[in-house]
């Protein structure tokens, strides 16, 4: 009897762990910056423009990356959550590529930071 029960028990335990991991919310409880803060600091203050046109310092590139990381930590006021993960993920990836000095990354950042595309879907 034990020989049958143990593997079954192990299976259930395993499934419990997997479902726990899958159910774990990827989104942080308390974002470092709200979406509005990100918009003000990254877009209102022209930080994004400087990073895109290549005049930003290393600190400014890192600051933009830090702000964009907070996008994925937040939930948008509206729109599909997978879409949101994709859009904010692209922003993070593109600004990270710029921060580490990858070639052509500013083009990617320009595309990922399309104001209207994101606002239409999530604002
Ligand atoms: C990946 C998505 C995304 C992109 C890209 C994006 N925004 Fe936003 N933006 C949002 C969301 C979501 C809100 C609404 C935030 C809220 O109401 O909490 C917002 C709000 C704003 C606001 C209003 C902030 C406030 O205090 O109410 C401004 C201004 C703004 N965005 C400017 C821009 C500009 C300029 C760009 C392009 C350079 C841009 N955004 C690109 C998602 C985005």
Each residue's pLDDT tens digit, 55-108? 999 999 999 999 999 999 999 999 999 999 999 999 999 999 999 999 999 999
Task: Tell me the whole-structure pTM to 2 decimals.
Answer: 0.83
The Å distance, Cα 4 to ligand 1 centre, comes to: 57
**Is any ligand 1 atom within 6 A of the Cβ of residue 98?**
no
Residue 41, pLDDT score: 97
Q: Measured between alpha carbons, how far is 110 from 6 in angstroms, rounded to an integer? A: 56
Q: How many domains does the chain have?
A: 1
Instruction: Classify residue 84: in a domain, yes or no.
Output: yes
Residue 106, pLDDT score: 96
Query: What is the span of the domain harbouring residue 117?
Result: 27-122
Instruction: Classify residue 2: in a domain, yes or no.
Output: no
Q: Which residues of 34-54 are buried (b: 16+ CB within 10 A; e: fewer)?
A: ebeebbebbeeeebbeebbee
The Å distance, Cα 20 to ligand 1 centre, comes to: 33
- Supply the residue whose CA is at minimum distance from atom 6 of ligand 1: 115
The Å distance, Cα 12 to ligand 1 centre, comes to: 44
Between the alpha carbon of residue 79 and those of residues 17, 36, 83, 98, 122, the distances in Å are 30, 16, 8, 28, 5
């Amino acid at each position: 009897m034990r020989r049958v029960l143990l593997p079954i028990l192990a299976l259930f335990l395993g499934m419990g762990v997997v479902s726990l991991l899958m159910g774990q919310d990827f989104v942080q409880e308390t974002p470092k910056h709200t979406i509005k803060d990100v918009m003000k600091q990254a877009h209102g203050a022209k930080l994004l423009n400087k990073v895109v046109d290549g005049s930003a310092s290393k600190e400014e590139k890192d600051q933009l990356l830090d702000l964009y990381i907070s996008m994925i930590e937040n939930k948008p006021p509206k729109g599909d959550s997978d879409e949101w993960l994709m859009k904010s993920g692209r922003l993070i990836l593109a600004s990270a590529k710029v921060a580490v000095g990858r070639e052509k990354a500013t083009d990617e950042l320009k595309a990922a930071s399309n104001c209207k595309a994101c606002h239409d879907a999530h604002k």
